[in-house]
Structure 1
Amino acid sequence: MNYIRDRFHQYWLLARFDKPIGIFILLWPTLWALWIAGNGKPGLLVLIVFTLGVVLMRAAGCVINDYADKDFDPHVDRTKLRPIAAGKVTPKEALIVFAALCLTAFGLVLLMNWYTIGLSFIGAFLAASYPFMKRFTHLPQAYLGAAFGFAVPMAFAAQTNEIPTVGWILYLAVLLWALVYDTMYAMVDIDDDLKIGVKSTAILFGKRVREITAGLQVVIMGLLVTVGIMQQLGWPYYAGLAVAAGLAVYQQKLIFHFDKPSCFKAFLNNNWFGLAVFVGIVLAYS
């Protein structure tokens, strides 16, 4: 019994269920899409399936990320105690856990329409291949956005059986948002990444990282305003965007001196950014 309890605990840590912040940051844009696609009243089954799907696929993403980085993590202070890096979980076990999470998520997707089921294969491929991108490109953060933001077009497909233009605009906003917050996250590891040869936008942008991320945040806000205009959303939505814009300014203040703890705090603050936009959407449809 103790052995089973220990394995379950290690798998729990491997899937980062002990750190739910990642779930929330990925869940907010999914909820944005569901509320907009459903005109403020998303279907209950769709809402449940997508919420559970985000939880499962974020966990699967963490597992395959640690598997992909099994040779790097032991050399990075922040990651050297992760289950695979610390020798608590074998790579084979990790692949089994990854497969189990993906199959469970796919089982949920089977409750949706065929369009959504077809799109799920693209989403699964993006999520599974993302961790390996940091070996080949300095833009793995953009790939992350494409992978985990793919719940947005899927949400429109599940709710309306189509992906309208507004869905793709929202997807682009989410992709860029992920690029920004994951760049802030990558700023924490930049010294270790340079040492072991891992690529990131934090390295690519270099000393211009603040200006580039700030510019991207302006574009993101512009895209979200466009969504509001297209959907004819009222003032509560723009009030939510105003709060989100204030949080973006605060994040720029946090990363200004390239202080690692503050950069990580900026990454975490994106949870409140996502919540602010979501509250604005909900109130706009109330």
Structure 2
Amino acid sequence: MNANPETARPGRSDIPTGSWIDRYAAPGTRPFLRLARLDRPIGWWLLMWPCWFGAGLAAAAASELPSPYLLVLFLIGAVAMRGAGCTYNDIVDRNIDTKVARTATRPIASGAVSVRQAWMLLVGLCLIGLAVLVQLGTTAIIVGLAALLLVAAYPFMKRITYWPQAWLGLTFNWGALVGWAAATGELGWPALWLYIGGIAWTLGYDTIYAHQDKEDDALIGVKSSALKLGDKTQPALVAFYIVAVGCWTAAGAITPVHWTYLLGVGAVAVHFAWQALTLDINDHRDCLAKFKSNRFIGALLFLGILIAGATG
């Protein structure tokens, strides 16, 4: 299936050029690596951080550092399942993607990968994710499998609600529950507060991301929080980020962990303020840069967790 030149405007493809895929990967593998978004690590960072938050905060509660083994497992799982999620999303959205400038050159929409080939890749990536999950303990396995319902429904949310970003938050932050369960063998209230804070965080960063597509989304009838909020985006971001900071503070307060955890939360709050107050919602490049900067949000909060675990 080729991109429709009447609906997909050139010049805004989201596929990077000159990445390691172009330099080192065999030509026949490149469309599949791009389909799994292996040239764009921001997605798996955002999927991995909540897992590390859960595992890390559970360890910090015992004045310990998180298990490196668990962290590596979550890294592998995040890369695999982010790739699986993107592949599934592109299968479901292949007809929409041809009509959106940023996505028209994606492998399935452009015809570089067939739907059958995409399903085969999806199965392979899910098997990697399953291999990781079965090593995390019974409670974590059950919690992890429950997330599949959220993942399966996500691509359809933009068709029925202006808040698919909220559903993405439910999905992407599930790892906070899995991480806590993997570290402790049970669920706990701190994990829930991490999860709720993560949902608010995702509402913020994915709304920023959605502003890149708002013109195309409006034309083809796809919904997003960017379209719903419009010029009210910045005050909404402030509200989302206040909720995130509040919930993450509560997670530390009820664990409890050493007060140095708050250093991470405070640094996150400063970064959130910079994002919300300097965002230009009509500048695609600024929206993408602000979205990508959220990898530092994860790093700052996790650093606070590590400091608390080391000093507790």
User: Normalised by the shorter chain, which TM-score bucket?
Assistant: over 0.9
Q: 2:208–2:290: 8 Å Cα contact kept in structure 1?
A: yes
Distance 1:31 1:204 in 2: 32
Instruction: Give the C-alpha shift of residue 111 in structure 1.
Output: 1.8
8 Å Cα contact 2:174-2:195 kept in structure 1: yes
CA distance in structure 2 between the aligned counterparts of 1:119 and 1:8, rounded to whole angstroms: 33
Residue 103 of structure 2 is matched in structure 1 by 79
| Distance change >3 Å, CA 182–CA 67, structure 1 → 2 | same
**Is the CA contact (8 Å cut-off) linking 2:65 and 2:306 kept in structure 1?**
no
Residue 219, structure 1, aligned to residue 219, structure 2: no
- The question of whether the paired residues in 1 share the 8 Å contact of 2:208 and 2:281 is answered with no
Q: Which amino acid aligns with 1:249?
A: A
Displacement of 1:254:
3.2
Q: Can you give the 5+ residue segments of structure 2 that lack an aligned partner in the other structure?
A: 1-24
Q: CA deviation at 1:193?
A: 0.5
Tell me the residue number matched to 1:276: 300
Give the % identical residues: 33
The structure that is helix-richer by fraction is: 1
1:64 to 59, 64, 88: 88
Return closer, same or farther for 1:257/1:135 CA change in 2, 3 Å cut-off.
Answer: closer
Please state how far the C-alpha of 1:135 moved relative to its aligned partner.
1.0
Question: Which one of 59, 68, 75 corresponds to residue 51 of structure 1?
Answer: 75
Q: Partners in 2 of 1:254 and 1:96 — Cα distance?
A: 42
- Please give the root-mean-square deviation of Cα atoms over the aligned residues, in Å: 1.7
Aligned partner of 1:37 among 25, 48, 58: 58
Q: Could you tell me how far apart the structure 2 residues matched to 1:77 and 1:266 are? A: 20
Match of 2:7 in 1: none
**1:9 maps to 2:30:** yes
Please give the TM-score of this superposition, normalised by the length of structure 1.
0.93
1:11-30 matches, within 5 Å, as 11-30=32-51
Deviates more, 1:73-82 or 1:253-262: 253-262
The corresponding residue for 1:238 is 262
Kindly state the Cα deviation for residue 45 of structure 1 after the two structures are TM-superposed.
Answer: 3.6
**TM-score, normalised with respect to structure 2:** 0.86
Q: Hey, what's the Cα distance between the residues in 2 that align with 1:47 and 1:197?
A: 40
Which structure exhibits the higher relative contact order, with contacts defined as CA atoms closer than 8 Å and separated by 6 or more residues? 2
Give the distance between the partners of 1:63 and 1:254, measured in 2 at CA: 33
Q: Find the partner of 1:117 among 132, 141, 166.
A: 141
Structure 1 residue 177: deviation in Å? 0.8
* TM-superposed deviation, 1:22: 1.4
Match of 2:174 in 1: 150
Aligned to 1:133: 157
Q: In the TM superposition, what whole-angstrom CA distance separates every residue of 1:38-73 from its partner, at most 9, and x where no partner exists? A: 233333443332221111111111111111110111
Question: Per the alignment, in what secondary structure is the counterpart of residue 136 of structure 2?
Answer: coil
Whether the 8 Å contact between 2:201 and 2:241 is mirrored in structure 1 is yes
Q: How many Å separate the matches in 1 of 2:53 and 2:136?
A: 19
Give the AA of the match of 1:252.
Answer: A
Inter-partner Cα distance in structure 2 for 1:91 and 1:123:
24
Q: Distance in 1 between matches of 2:174 and 2:96?
A: 27
How far 1:182 moved relative to its partner? Answer: 0.5
Aligned partners of 1:82 and 1:257: how far apart in 2? 24
Provide the aligned length of Structure 1 versus Structure 2.
Answer: 283
Q: In structure 2, what is the Cα distance between the partners aligned to 1:239 and 1:42?
A: 18
Cα-to-partner distance string for 1:207-258 (whole Å, 9 max, x where unaligned):
2111111111111111111122223333432222222111111111332453
- Contact map agreement 2:44 2:78 (CA 8 A) in 1: yes
**Cα separation, 2, equivalents of 1:182 and 1:68:** 19
Deviations 1:109-153 (A, max 9, x none): 112222222222211221232112111111111111111211111
2:87 touches 2:122 (CA, 8 Å); kept in 1? yes
